Structure 1
Amino acid sequence: MTYAPRERPLSPHTTIWRWHVTMATSILHRATGCALYGGGLLMALWALSLAAGPEAYGTFKAILGSFPGKIVMFLLTLSAFYHLAKGIQHLIWDLGYGYKVQTASLGAMICLAFSGAATVVVWIIAAMTGAL
């Protein structure tokens, strides 16, 4: 008996789906989680440079204090606030609320707005206190 190969359905791909804010923020939540792992590695390097002595710590501070270093730190701050906000939205979903399309979309926009505003406020405070 010979069996003909069955046509199996293909999984949807990002080129098939129409992009919407909840889809983009879900992907961004995963990306910021990965970025925060990189931030953890930076914190480990900070601790190692601190333990290695003043010269190593001075080099580390010079690298993070440079323009590219500040961009990395700004993006890590943005990632932390976004990941926090999206995590809270996930907790709300875990409680069974916010599943309507309009509510989920509004929550996604709030996550984006909060993370941007909180990041800017933290960096303004850092600049005002001389931490930059």
Structure 2
Amino acid sequence: MANATQNRPLSPHLSIYHMYPTMVMSIVHRITGGALYFGTLLVAWWLIAAAAGPAYFEFTNAIFGSIIGRLVLFGYTWALLHHMIGGIRHLVWDTGRGLEKHASTRIAWATLACSVALTIILWAIALIFA
């Protein structure tokens, strides 16, 4: 019996896996989903501040308008767009398309590129019209 347990193969460790773009985007999709919970609290805070009165709303806008506040909002925007595009990617996969290795890698890179580009475009438009 002791010999049988000693000759068992070991489970694969994380060190033997190579990080592929599809794997990274799957992990990032889960992280952005979690980050959206925090961002939704920020949206709720802003809406509550708007309902609470002008003084508290100005206080909240001052926090969101600070450099750190804008960085957090920029990150929230990117997380929202990345998660949405990742969800579209999964919808495409549900149709049976894009599952080949090279196609899924291209789609993973496209997900990242599109989310970054859309975030920058959205913020550029917002800053132009602000």
| Same fold flag (TM > 0.5) | yes
* Residues 1:124 and 2:124 are matched in the alignment: yes
Deviations 1:78-124 (A, max 9, x none): 11111111111100111111111100000001101110111111011
CA distance in 2, matches of 1:121, 1:37: 24
With normalisation by structure 2, the TM-score equals 0.90
CA distance in 1, matches of 2:49, 2:18: 47
Percent identical across equivalent pairs? 39
Displacement of 1:20 in angstroms is: 1.2
Structure 1 gaps, min length 5: none
With normalisation by structure 1, the TM-score equals 0.89
Which residue in 2 is equivalent to 1:114? 114
Judge which range, 15-24 or 29-38, deviates more.
Answer: 15-24
Judge which range, 16-25 or 62-71, deviates more.
Answer: 16-25
CA distance in 2, matches of 1:123, 1:76: 12
* Residues 1:18 and 2:18 are matched in the alignment: yes
Superposed counterparts of 1:47-126, under 5 Å:
47-126=47-126
Aligned-partner SS, 2:96: coil
State the number of aligned residues. 127
Which residue in 1 is equivalent to 2:43? 43
Displacement of 1:68 in angstroms is: 0.3
Aligned-partner SS, 2:97: coil
Deviations 1:46-98 (A, max 9, x none): 12212221111111100000000000111111111111111111001111111
Normalized per residue, the structure richer in helix is 2
- Structure 1 runs (4+) deviating above 2 angstroms are 3-10, 12-16
CA distance in 2, matches of 1:67, 1:124: 16
Question: RMSD of the alignment, in Å?
Answer: 1.5
